[in-house]
A = this chain, B = another copy of it.
Amino acid sequence: MRHFRTDPIDETDVEWLLSMAHRAPSVGLSQPWRFVRVETVELRERLACHVDRQVKEAGKEYDGDQDKLYRSLKLHGLREAPVLFAVYCDDGTETGHHLGAVTMPEARRYSCVMAVHTLWLAAQTRRIGMGWVSIMEPEGVNAMLDIPASWECLGLLCLGRPVSEEDVPELERRGWEQRTDWHSVVVRR
């Protein structure tokens, strides 16, 4: 979701969303997700400018009609969405005593993704939209937000009321990509 209304969402809703995210499953019960609420106008604008630059840079690989379509897509709502989080995984956490994360440390980050997805689904039940922005350079964002060295950035989350409620993703409606058949993602051994 990229098209947000600018009116605020209730703080009680934001707190409920965070409490729901915190109920996600996690490897070894490590609960490694960290939500950084971006509250100042200055930081928000710096993040938006950073992503604008990254969007421009990432667009260099397209040309012709695809380039035209890419340029017309709205790829973040960082200036409009009333609530903004940067989401992190604390790779240095001792909670869970490393269970399940010794051979595959990325399992901790996957737990954080489930917290984000839980927040996303919970938001939908209150007609709050979410947009996950991944066109960014983690190092630049970490420096802006003064993030501990052991935290790994998963992206930026925009939250707010959608301008319009749509069942079909914009990338599908606009012809960027089509949904594939689920049978094509299953193989047997």
Chain A residues packing against B (C-beta within 8 Å): 18-19, 21-22, 24-25, 27-31, 33-40, 43, 54, 57-58, 61-62, 66, 70, 75, 86, 95-104, 106-107, 109-110, 113-114, 116-118, 120-121, 132, 134-138, 145-146, 154-155, 169, 171-172, 176-180, 182, 185-189
Contact between A103 and B25 (Cβ–Cβ < 8 Å)?
no
From B28, B33, B58, B145, give the contact of A176 (CB < 8 A): B28
B177 and A103 form a contact (CB under 8 A): no
Residue of B nearest to A27 (CB): B134
Query: How many copies of this chain does one complex carry?
Result: 2
CA distance A37 to B138 in the complex (A): 35
